[in-house]
Structure 1
Amino acid sequence: MVGELAQHLGECAILLDIDGTLLDLAPTPREVWVPPGLANTLIRLSDKTSGALALVSGRSLNDIDLIFAPDQFPAVGGHGAEMRLSSDSEAVATHAPPMDKELKRRLAAIARLSPGILLEDKGYSLALHYRLAPHAEKAIYEAISLIRNELPHAPIEVLPGKCVFEIKQVGFDKAMGVRELMRREPFRGRRPIFIGDDVTDESVFVIMPDLGGLAFSVGRRAEGVAGHFDEPRDVRAWLARLVDGEAAARE
């Protein structure tokens, strides 16, 4: 398949999740790193698609830029809450008002349940990581459920992930962000190719047929995807082959 896609790369849009897809998961969100050669691969893919390459992440645009600095890419950040159409354009806030400060304070206090629970404020959402405290998973879930029961009308939803619970406001998700992205230049009219690994990426998997695109999952074969990769290094190797159009076309 890589050879066929490489031949038609100029008609595609490449959409990539970051954590667990492009980059290996780390003990803490701040410890992820960009392996040598990846940024160059992304830049070359962007060139070959006339700028239609975007990162699609739960991280904020600011956080994405810090990870890939000094390079900057178009992106959908905050699970669809914000978007940037080109590497040198201004960010566009799309669907998300800030989370209520008191609600955020109560959710943040859950991190005190156990050493090793890490709090990550993503601006439009709040994440509680327990990779360093796996025993605390049940306690975290119960604490979140208690807050939701006490505030039944709070417009939030819980996104379980790989050793993380993420709480965000309802009304936006990655799929909504991708749909908006695909309505704008230089993405409009192209065939989207999306790669993701987590529960939060499933909403994008679902809409790929509507957009005439293909989805690939990482670490597991998700329902409805065209294929899957075992781990991020396989994704990076595949993208490197994809960008080398002549070699890929001979496969």
Structure 2
Amino acid sequence: MTMDDDIAPDGAINSAPAPASLIPPLNQTAVLLDIDGTLLDFAATPREVWVPPELATTLRELHARTNGALALVSGRSLNDIDLIFAPDTFPAIGGHGAEMRLQPDSEAVATHSPPLDKELKRRLAAIAKLSPGILLEDKGYSLALHYRLAPAAEKAIYEAVSLIRAELPNAPIEVLPGKSVCEIKHAGFTKATGVRELMTHEPFKGRRPFFIGDDVTDETVFAIMSDYEGFAFSVGRQAIGVAGHFAAPSEVREFLARLLDKGT
């Protein structure tokens, strides 16, 4: 864990306090966690990510010790999240806020997020033909073009998306640049809108949350943590407005395991 330094207007450096000291007792805390690049190391393709057994154990114990106030917050669909963490299921926000599940055994709830228009999705999907290394992922509410296996195609992908947006200026879509992925989703919802909705429900309501994320799409959640007297931590970079950062997912996993020693 590394503490982030914020530069004050007068040039002085204000160091953030050590994150472990910020976390309230677990029975007063809401634990909100991004998945890819935060809990799990990146893999060549989205389907190849791996959940270490010790992480599964940590998440189960944190879910129990917080009385259920642990949620995964991801751009992945809830179905995809469940496949990755099977046989475990957790409360979760999926699809960048398009879906939500409050209890492990409850039904998924769509949060007023219409799926992408079929014709628009067809045109966007055709971009994957630019290179054999581009992987297309249809999440229903969004469409992702992964280019980890075709890094040279990044510029061409974004140019093609920009051309489609220029031809359809009224299409209610938003482009999310990520780590080796370009994701296009319906506008009007974000991870932050999902978290705001989540925090109105038990057992999350009234708790002080902390959120850990790594990507640009997580910045909307970083920005609202102070509204709940909570804290945000970034992974792999020193993002603006966070209380600290981790170098890699392995540090996040170690940190979460150590939280179990804090008691309730």
Instruction: Write the distance in 2 (CA, Å) between the matches of 1:16 and 1:226.
Output: 15
TM-score (norm 2): 0.91
The aligned runs of 1:27-176 (5 Å cut-off) are 27-176=44-193
Note the residue ranges of structure 2 that are not aligned, 5 or more in a row: 1-17
Aligned-residue offset at 1:245: 2.2
Identical residues among aligned pairs (%) = 76
* Cα-Cα RMSD: 1.3
User: Is contact 1:78-1:125 (8 Å) kept?
Assistant: yes
User: Is contact 1:156-1:170 (8 Å) kept?
Assistant: yes
Instruction: Write the distance in 1 (CA, Å) between the matches of 2:114 and 2:241.
Output: 32
Give per-residue Cα distances to partners, 1:131-185, cap 9 Å, x unaligned.
1001001100110001001101000010000011000010000000000000000
Aligned to 1:194: 211
How many positions carry a matched residue from both structures?
Answer: 247
User: Is contact 1:80-1:95 (8 Å) kept?
Assistant: no
Aligned to 2:7: none
Instruction: Write the distance in 2 (CA, Å) between the matches of 1:202 and 1:136.
Output: 25
User: Is contact 1:27-1:131 (8 Å) kept?
Assistant: yes
Question: Which one-letter code corresponds to 1:135 in the other structure?
Answer: A
User: Is contact 2:25-2:262 (8 Å) kept?
Assistant: no
Change (3 A) 1:2 1:135: closer
User: Is contact 1:95-1:171 (8 Å) kept?
Assistant: no
Change (3 A) 1:7 1:158: closer
Change (3 A) 1:200 1:7: closer
Aligned to 1:226: 243
Aligned to 2:262: 245
Aligned-residue offset at 1:2: 5.8
Note the residue ranges of structure 1 that are not aligned, 5 or more in a row: none
Question: Which one-letter code corresponds to 1:89 in the other structure?
Answer: S
Change (3 A) 1:7 1:197: closer
Instruction: Write the distance in 1 (CA, Å) between the matches of 2:127 and 2:140.
Output: 17
Aligned-residue offset at 1:244: 2.0
Give per-residue Cα distances to partners, 1:100-140, cap 9 Å, x unaligned.
00000000000000110000111110000111001001100
- Give the secondary-structure state (helix, strand or coil) at the position aligned to 2:170: coil
Question: Which one-letter code corresponds to 2:141 in the other structure?
Answer: Y
Runs of 4+ in 1 over 6 A off after TM superposition: none
Instruction: Write the distance in 1 (CA, Å) between the matches of 2:242 and 2:19.
Output: 15
Give per-residue Cα distances to partners, 1:5-25, cap 9 Å, x unaligned.
566111000000000000001
Aligned-residue offset at 1:211: 1.3
User: Is contact 2:19-2:244 (8 Å) kept?
Assistant: no
User: Is contact 2:99-2:108 (8 Å) kept?
Assistant: yes
1:209 correspondence with 2:253: no
Aligned-residue offset at 1:36: 1.9
Give per-residue Cα distances to partners, 1:219-250, cap 9 Å, x unaligned.
0010000000000000000000011225xx9x
- Partner residue of 2:253 out of 236, 239, 247: 236
Give per-residue Cα distances to partners, 1:186-231, cap 9 Å, x unaligned.
0000000100000000000000011111000000010000000000
